[in-house]
Structure 1
Amino acid sequence: MATDPIIQGAIMLLAFIMFFALKYISQQGLTKFRTKHRATLQTQRQLIQASHLLARARATTTKKSQSQSLAKSALTEADDVIAISPDDAAGHIVRALSLDLLGHHVAALKSFDTALSYPRAKSLSVGERADALVKRAEMKVAVNRRRRNDSAIEDLEEAVRLGAGTDAARLFRSLGECYEFKGMNEKAQWAFSEALKT
């Protein structure tokens, strides 16, 4: 009989300990979730803003100074995205496109290399990766066709293997031009005929 109040007291004490432990653990978990979720939302907002600025910069063809200003703003937003989420390829791709628009082609190419490297490439869908490979190949050819043609062909062939992308005609046309430059006329003819089919 004397043990009943002791057992009841022990059960009550255990219940209070469990209550406070659960409350503390859930608050810690929610805080981590909120912080991560907040960072993800901020990254997405800045990425959308950077993409919007980049699109406006490309559309502004009459005033070069305005286009350059918009591209610099897009670059700043992309750098902020990279600072928050360095393993997300999207920020690196927007950065590369902004640098390309500003005329910094070698730096843009390095940003594309970073975006398409592991682990960042995992954050891209198959279509996004194929489009990024095509754009990187076009940049390689623009920077130095003679030195980078083979590397551009590798990127374009990888994009063909992925079998996805938004502009298949552009992909095959670029591949045909690279084959033609290398003197691979049969492969060039095949690529150009594939471009016409799409």
Structure 2
Amino acid sequence: MQLATVAKLWNDQGWNLHFRRNLNDWEMCRLAELFFTLAQFSNLSVEEDSLVWNVGSKGWFTVNSAYEDLNTVGIEEVEWPWKRIWKTEIPYKVNCFTWLLAKETVLTHQNLNKRGFHLCSRCFLCEEQGETVNHLFLHHKWTSQLWQMFTNMREIKWVKPERIKEVLKCWNRDGNAGRKEERWKIVPSCIWWTVWLERN
């Protein structure tokens, strides 16, 4: 029975188990547990097996259903700031760069090391710390001055988040200013693109 398939052991009447020997009394409880476990699989049929995508309502895979499923995994994913990346009036290459930053996959020394390129991880701008996405684009002393300059222009008291994605989530909310809102939305991408060009 070890190598038996479900098709060999199940038919329209239910499970048809055959044992090589008679069961002992003490094994009957285990058999009852087995039948109880098997009873939980009530949607078996004699039809040929097929793949079913349980997330979608129709039973087949769509990118949209996969995206919606991923966005319901946790609060952090539900709040993914894609509109703040793709719905801004900046060059497409800067949008793509911002997307990579939000995913923390821009090719800094840290990410190159993860991909097998063994480099001495040091920030090109300050040569004091390891070069990570969040250090280079948020917490580096020169980058911090850029952030400070823009927040001072709006007289915003702003605590800089730890990560890029958190900046995208809070930036519009903290600096909303009517007609100038569209210009304000692109400030993070402008800072990040400028830092990247300076770094390279």
Name the TM tier (shorter chain): under 0.3
TM-score in terms of structure 1 length: 0.27
More contact order relative to length (CA 8 Å, sep ≥ 6): 2
TM-score in terms of structure 2 length: 0.26
